[in-house]
Amino acid sequence: MKIGSIGVAGTATLLVAFALPMVGPPAQAAGKRQIAAICTQYGSRTASGERFVSNKLTAAHRTLPLGTLVRVTNLRNGRSVVVRINDRGPFTKGRTIDVSPAAAQQLEFSGLAPVTLAVVSK
């Protein structure tokens, strides 16, 4: 194969082909409206290996690193709580985060709630 035989258009195509696999899932936009639900996995182990405890301020998120602290704000009433990501999920389409019952109580919601998420620390 000769060097330069690909041409400019071919080079651009190769660069895109090699760059695409390195691109991860789109990041959750800070302040974007999302949907929260209440986690109901009583007594089981979380993805972090700890036992799920309903009275701790914890949550499940698909992509945020375990241990990340996230401020969840209920858009219906403005109440906020900081939770620690210790599990993976939710795996229901349209939902972004599952919070513990204790977090849902502080946010004053049951069922589903429109929320915003802001990473406090990783």
The CATH number for 28-121, chosen from 2.40.40.10, 2.60.260.20, 1.20.1560.10, 3.40.1710.10, is 2.40.40.10
Query: How is the chain split into domains, by residue range?
Result: 28-121
Residue 89 backbone dihedrals phi, psi, to 5 degrees? 135, -175
Burial 40-70 (b: 16+ CB within 10 A, else e): eeeeeebeeeeebebebbbbbbeebebebbb
pLDDT interval class at 30 (50, 70, 90):
low
Residue 90, pLDDT score: 94
Residue 39, pLDDT score: 87
pLDDT (tens digit per residue) in 71-107: 999 999 999 999 999 999 998 999 999 999 999 999 9
Specify whether the CB–CB gap between 103 and 57 falls below 8 A.
yes
